[in-house]
Amino acid sequence: MKLTKQFAILVLLLSSISLNPAWADKKHHKLAIDKVEGPLSIMVLGSGGPVATPSGRASASYMVFADGEPRVLMDIGGGAFQRLAASGLNIKDLDIVLLSHLHIDHTGDLSAAIKTIYFHNNLAGTARTSPIHIYGPKANGIPFPNNPTPQYPDTTEYAHDHYDINGGTERYLNIFASAISNNQSKFNYIAHDLNSMVNGAVLEEVLKTPDGLLIQAIAVDHGPVPALAFRIEYKGHSIVYSGDTGSKNNNMITIAQNADLLVYDTAITDDLPPNPVFHVLHTSPSRIGEVAAAAGAKKLLLSHITPIVEPRLEQVEQTIRAQGYYGKIKVAKDLQVINLVANKKHDDKDKDKNDD
């Protein structure tokens, strides 16, 4: 009986909390969400790769904001959920998730984030019935070396295997979202498969919203892995995210044309690691420089930082410069915010807000 009373008190306290970041104790520190400003922004939720290291980087994840509102989640690997929590973000209205590919270090915290969407609505006293749209690559059918089974599923199959009420491993969300909201919210998702065939790939329009947010995708090479790069445009600004790719063709140059910010897979050096598999899967710094220069990208954000690259970042930057890239270069870090400002006279504001 005593435990029941304590639980009731806890629920009452939770229900009284506003999801506006102002509920956090700002007297002691500034939250990452407080640094977002301008028409188009990106917050790094995870700047690392698939390896757990003492540097503490979460795996790949980025939140894109339009007019200060979180609109698009690009990948959400392991550890990104913790960064999402620390950022002060309220994602109750988030409805667009872009998955560059289905490796664990890009998808591992997806279900935790989806569950939080419904918790955030519950705490804010709102009901969520609109669907969460999950976009990702269509399967390419490449089998295992000694097994005819395709190595990767479609994104729709991946999503249904998690969330479908008739067989998904996390199908409980279909009742959970309703139960915590007194039947006001309803769990709802729609998955979408995008072209992942690299040869002959062209820029594909994924979505254009009534307020002018445009999302495009193109298939990129990542060894046998179906993979995509994304471009987001809003009010004259653009962000391009490579996902993971070896950049063996010119698809990245196509999608990154004149991008204000190009977020690039920086997992290897030109020589390391010695295992050639990694050089098939990821882009060397010299190729990053070639692509960024050819595309005319204004700023380059090096991300997906691995233990190979972390101690060699100065060398990586020098190699990129040697290919003729003269734009700004930054190294991503978790909870970093980059705002793309509207007024070109104030380009000094277009910077890493964690440098403030």
Domain coordinates in residue numbering, the chain? 31-344
Average pLDDT over residues 45-63: 97
Query: Which is nearest to 220 in space by CA: 198, 253, 192?
Result: 198
Question: Tell me, what's the pLDDT at 87?
Answer: 98
Task: Give me the chain's average pLDDT, please.
Answer: 91
**pLDDT of 89-99, one tens digit each?**
999 999 999 99
The listed range with the strongest mean pLDDT (24-33, 40-49, 347-356) is 40-49
Hey, is 126 helix, strand or coil?
A: coil
Average pLDDT over residues 281-307: 98
Hey, is 1 helix, strand or coil?
A: coil
Question: Tell me, what's the pLDDT at 102?
Answer: 98
CATH number of 31-344, picked from 3.40.120.10, 3.40.50.620, 3.40.50.920, 3.60.15.10: 3.60.15.10
Instruction: Give the C-alpha separation, 347 to 302, whole Å.
Output: 20
Under DSSP, the state recorded for 112 is: H
| Per-residue pLDDT at 21 exceeds 90 | no
Question: Tell me, what's the pLDDT at 341?
Answer: 84
Under DSSP, the state recorded for 125 is: T
**pLDDT of 179-191, one tens digit each?**
999 999 999 999 9
Q: How far is CA 12 from CA 129, 179, 284, 346, in A?
A: 24, 16, 53, 46
Contact call for residues 271 and 308 (beta carbons, < 8 A): no
- Which range has the worst mean pLDDT, 6-20, 33-47, 314-328? 6-20
